[in-house]
Amino acid sequence: MIDDPMQAVVYDLPSGTRDEYKDRLRDFKGMIDQYLDGQIRSKHIALAAFELAFWQFKRSYGGGFHPSEVSKGDYCKRKLYFEYVGTEPEKSRSFSQQTMRIFNLGTMVHLYMQYVLLKEKVITDFEVPVVSKTLGINGSADGENTAEEITFEIKTMSSFIFAKLVEPVKEHVRQATMYAYPRGMKRIRLIYVNKDSLELKTFLVPLDMDFLNQFAEVVFELKTLKKENEKSGVETLPEKRCKNRMDNRALECPFANKCFEA
């Protein structure tokens, strides 16, 4: 847990593991002392904050399912199976420069919100690692308040979408549920940020246990299939969701070649 909100900014761009990154966060005070002694110039701090924002965007889950993808509900079990058994993706998703700029801006707003929430002691930690073998996930929650047993999920959006939002998006509740449950949290606080004006809408909701149970069953099914495949030496795969290789879903899928060879 980070006690001092100032530690939410880091000087050095982390290139190592999440633990190394957190250690560097904890050393932020030492860096401030150096700064006050004139050993580090302020422009380096500003640069580091930007680099951290971009680095956060690039962070990987390090294996397992992606809660943001699974929470949509219409997942392809075959694709999940490839992810579950650790199949090497054929391609990584690429985005246009403009999309990357929008993502980066969203990440910076995200980081700003985490900083403010931590400073105001609304959350007790941020980027909380979440690992669950039962759900096959290895990710991190945006924030957590352990005393109140609440997981925080922050979403940024345009004014247009923000204006129409009157209740939490089901898929966001599901995503946060996958982080909250393994951590023993009882409720979810969704914070929606209008990235054009920084206006907020927040909702406090219970976990979506129906979705969680349903997904745990799918993971169990995939786990059983993996065991059977290893035992028999023959790879049986779940049904395809795509009709052909030119299906939109297949064009986006990093396992499409392997899928259509099988």
Nearer to ligand SF4 (CB atom), residue 78 or residue 110:
78
Residue placing its CB nearer to ligand SF4 in the complex, 30 or 73:
73
Please, what is the minimum distance in Å from the beta carbon of residue 91 to ligand SF4? 12
CB of 214 to ligand SF4, least distance (A): 19
- Asked if 150 and 203 touch (Cβ cutoff 8 Å), the reply is no
In the bound state with ligand SF4, the residue whose beta carbon lies nearer, of 207 and 253, is 253
**Closest distance to ligand SF4 from the beta carbon of 76 (Å):** 3
CB-based contact 258:245 (threshold 8 Å): no
Cα separation values, 201 from 142, 161, 163, 209, 256, Å: 16, 12, 10, 24, 39
Burial (Cβ within 10 Å: 0-12, 13-18, ≥19) of residue 187: middle
Q: How many CA atoms lie within 13 A of 101 on its CB side?
A: 3
* Local structure of 1: helix, strand or coil: coil
**Cβ neighbour number for residue 51 with a 10 Å cutoff:** 15
> Nearest approach, Cβ of 240 to ligand SF4 (angstroms)?
4
CB of 182 to ligand SF4, least distance (A): 26
Which is nearer to ligand SF4, 22 or 249 (by Cβ)?
A: 249
Other beta carbons within 10 angstroms of residue 233's beta carbon come to: 6
- Alpha-carbon distance of 67 to 76, in angstroms, equals 14
> Tokens 């979440």 label which residue?
130
| CB closer to ligand SF4 out of 187 and 241 | 241
Contacts of 19 (CB under 8 A, 6+ apart): none
Asked whether the beta carbons of 111 and 52 are under 8 A apart, the reply is yes
CB of 99 to ligand SF4, least distance (A): 21
Our CB check for ligand SF4 shows the closer of 79 and 172 to be: 79
**In angstroms, rounded to a whole number, what is the distance separating the alpha carbons of residues 235 and 175?**
30
Q: How far is the CB of 148 from ligand SF4 (least distance, A)?
A: 39
Our CB check for ligand SF4 shows the closer of 78 and 172 to be 78
Binding residues (CB under 6 A) for ligand SF4: these are 76, 78-79, 240-242, 249-250, 253, 255-256, 259
Q: For residue 130, count other CB atoms closer than 10 A to its CB.
A: 21
